[in-house]
Amino acid sequence: MKITEITAQPFKYKSRHGRDNEGHGHPGPEIDATQTLVTIKTDEGAEGYMFGAQKSVVDEHVAPIVLGEDPFDREKIWQKLRHMQRIAPSGLTDRLIGVIDVALWDLAGRHLNMPVHKLLGGYREKVLAYASTMVGDEIENGLATPEDYGRFAEWAIKERGYKAFKLHTWQPPIAWAPSVKMDIAACAAVREAVGPDIPLMLDSYHYYNRMDALALGRGLEELDFYWFEEPMDEASMSSYKWLCDQLDIPVIGPETMGGKMFTRAEWIKNGACDLSRSGVGDVGGLSPLMKCAHLAESFNMACEVHGGGPGNLNALGAMGMPGEFYERGLLHPFIDYEEPAQYLNTLFDPMDEEGYVHMPTRAGIGLDINFDYITENLI
């Protein structure tokens, strides 16, 4: 089988997700947003899909590599894309090559009429989700105060059925942010609201210094938090080693630091994390995410998967030393997460009343794509 076509088609859809000038998502008025559908086709009629790669980069850098290749040679294609990142580092990001890799997995699953987590080697049929909030804001009754976080956590756990909750707290451009004191106040309000038995996590400001990170970590220990995520710039592994050495609370990472499985290996080996962290968008695809999961497993360390979406969920279905949670979000009191995007017929990751997201049963990665909507809204 040979790949004969790869396209990235931009289309418009309506969204209520806005961004502040530091890039953080918040609820807002309905806007025209752009998404891109990547399609890979073969000479035998097999097709694979994924969202999110830039058309110019796919045309210029990806197509020359993948056209003519066997779509089942995922490792060969991924290694070629990885090496090409040296030549075209600005466009050929880990996120983008991850989209291509997931589309190839989707093609394989669709062609063999199997869900991808089964092709990977299935381990479980469902995974607990945690409610993962948007970052703090200044919206009345949104996520503007510690009490807002407490109220939202109470709804998520007691009404919606989540079994775990993660805060993203306040960051610039909010004038007074970041603030260790406010972060701890929000975490305390959430603990107070949900009681002692619910696992809670914090992902705070990413550029605290060491002393701030240590103070925050100690505050979380008093509140019996489950993990502490990315309080400092991850480019400094030594800082995380320093932090891990002093805290009892598990420190998780690296999340956004480049370097794929190589950085994960260094962090584990050097004692810079207690839980490993990888996601399809961080390490360049589902194939390398499984490498990271197996790496962590080999050190008896859980790999907690970063972010939602089909690549991450299928990986969680096939990890023998599981990451415990699927990240469901980003959530906000004024966003209805249960409503699928217009370009999907059904929600990809529905959650049951017990707080579980079930592995997709449809062939491929499990997306139920509304192709008519996309065709009608092509740019």
Residue 137 vs residues 27, 114, 133, 233, 335: alpha-carbon distances, Å: 10, 42, 11, 22, 14
Contact 315, 293 (CB under 8 A): yes
324 binding Mg ion? (CB under 5 A): no
Shortest separation between residue 355's beta carbon and Mg ion, angstroms? 20
CB of 379 to Mg ion, least distance (A): 31
Euclidean distance between CA atoms 335 and 46, whole angstroms: 36
Beta-strand (E) ranges in the chain? Answer: 3-19, 25-42, 47-51, 126-133, 165-168, 200-203, 227-229, 251-252, 276-278, 303-305, 325-331, 356-358
- Minimum distance between the CB of residue 133 and Mg ion, rounded to whole angstroms? 11
* Residue 178 Cβ vs Mg ion, minimum distance, rounded to whole Å: 14
In whole angstroms, the minimum distance from the beta carbon of 230 to Mg ion comes to: 5
274 binds Mg ion (CB under 5 A): no
Joined together, the tokens standing for residue 52 give: 């999110």
Nearer to Mg ion, 71 or 308 (CB): 308
Residue with smaller CB distance to Mg ion, 150 or 279? 279
CA distance 37 to 99: 10
Helix (H, G, I), strand (E, B) or coil at 291: helix
Q: How far is the CB of 307 from Mg ion (least distance, A)?
A: 8
Q: How far is the CB of 253 from Mg ion (least distance, A)?
A: 9
Q: Quick check: 282 binds Mg ion (CB under 5 A)?
A: no
Closer residue to Mg ion, CB minimum distance, 71 or 307:
307
For Mg ion, the binding residue among 94, 183, 203, 282 (CB under 5 A) is 203
Which stretch, 10-18, 117-125, 237-245, 252-260, contacts Mg ion (CB under 5 A)? 252-260
Query: Closer CB to Mg ion, residue 252 or residue 261?
Result: 252
Our finding on whether 304 is near Mg ion (CB under 5 A) is: no
Two tokens, residue 105: 């997995």
* Residues in CB range of 238: below 8 A, 6 or more apart: 272
Q: Could you tell me the two tokens for 165? A: 């909750």
Cβ contact 180:213 at 8 Å: no
Nearer to Mg ion, 92 or 335 (CB): 335
Sign of CA dihedral 334, 228, 230, 92: negative
Whose Cβ is closer to Mg ion: residue 51's or residue 227's? 227
Rounded CA Rg of the chain: 20
In this chain, which stretch among 180-188, 209-217, 249-257, 366-374 interacts with Mg ion, using CB under 5 A? 249-257
Segment contacting Mg ion (CB under 5 A): 86-94, 104-112, 145-153, 200-208?
Answer: 200-208
Per the structure block, which two tokens stand in for 279? 């996601």
Is the Cβ–Cβ distance between 295 and 310 less than 8 Å? no
Number of residues that bind Mg ion (CB under 5 A): 2
CB closer to Mg ion, 134 vs 357: 134
The residues binding Mg ion (CB under 5 A) are 203, 255
